[in-house]
Copies of this chain bind each other. A is one copy, B any other.
Amino acid sequence: MNEIQNIVLIGAGNVATHLGLAIQKTGRRIVQVYSRTESSAKQLGGKLKTHYTDALEEINPEADLYIVSVSDSALKVLSIRLNLNEQLIVHTSGSVSMDVLRNSSLNYGVLYPLQTFSKSREVEIFETPICVEANTNKNLEKLKGLAADLSKKVVEINSEQRKLLHLSAVFACNFTNFMYSIADKVLSEHNLDFNLLRPLILETALKVQQVSPAEAQTGPAVRREERIITEHLALLKNSPELQKIYRLLSERIKGIRE
């Protein structure tokens, strides 16, 4: 039988934790957790009620799949040190080419869940797109089989497309969160409560679940209300860097409906 049943998690961070829990719910087994720090390995091993190790040479060599969820820099080092012969190995990174795993095994691929994971929140993996890539069709089919049990949205994405997805995610998630940060800063400097903005932030994200961001664009810039823009820049007079961001983004937004 070709199906993936026994899985080793390499890395014990947020992605490994969320994937591990979701995989167990499909009935598959996490047979071992590896982390280079023993406490992390132990913690996730405990959460998943399975074996754990902080020694690479103790990694179980007989699993059907090895999922590497570590930082991009650690990934390169690990891929050289790991030698799994023919066992299927994947990483979960948005920005590293599949080929980094060529050193580790004859069979390799990528399983990239397009989501932001945090310690404090449980994420609906079933709603999270999972992007898969593999070095052979057979490996691709195996990964798709697993991914389809984890998520309702499985897409085949090559390494180049994945990098573009990751770039777009930087705008949609990291830079978006930074906009929240700036808003928080503006408010806290005047003793106003960030709670006031939370419903607006949520509604802004909910709106583009249905329409395109271009259609959803509102605000002074798209309406070209120069008086308000000037007033806002004046309110930011003590933060030349925020003025610069405000000005740059407003100029670009004005161009949207040209």
Contact = CB atoms under 8 A, between A and B. Distances in A.
Interface in A57-109: 71-73, 95
A204 B173 contact: yes
Interface stretch (A2-10, A19-27, A42-50, A190-198): A190-198
A206 B121 contact: yes
A170 interface: yes
Contacts of A1: none
Nearest to A94: B228
A109 to B, nearest CB: 18
A80 B127 CA distance: 52
Contacts of A190: 161, 164
A212 B228 contact: no
Interface residue range, chain A:
35 or more
Of residues A115, A195, A197, A223, which shows the largest number of chain B Cβ atoms within 10 Å of its Cβ? Answer: A197
A172 interface: yes
Contacts of A192: 161, 164-165, 168
B172 A204 contact: yes
A168 B186 contact: yes
A177 B217 contact: yes
Given A204-B176, A217-B181, A196 B164 contact: no
B181 A232 contact: no
Contacts of A223: 71
A36 interface: no
B204 A249 contact: no
Interface of A: 71-73, 95, 114-116, 118, 120-121, 123-124, 127-129, 131, 153, 155, 161, 163-184, 186-187, 190, 192, 194-214, 216-223, 225, 227-228, 231-232, 235-236, 241, 244-246, 248-249, 252-253, 256
**Those 7 A-B pairs whose CB atoms lie nearest each other, nearest first:** A174-B219, A205-B205, A180-B213, A168-B183, A172-B183, A181-B213, A171-B183
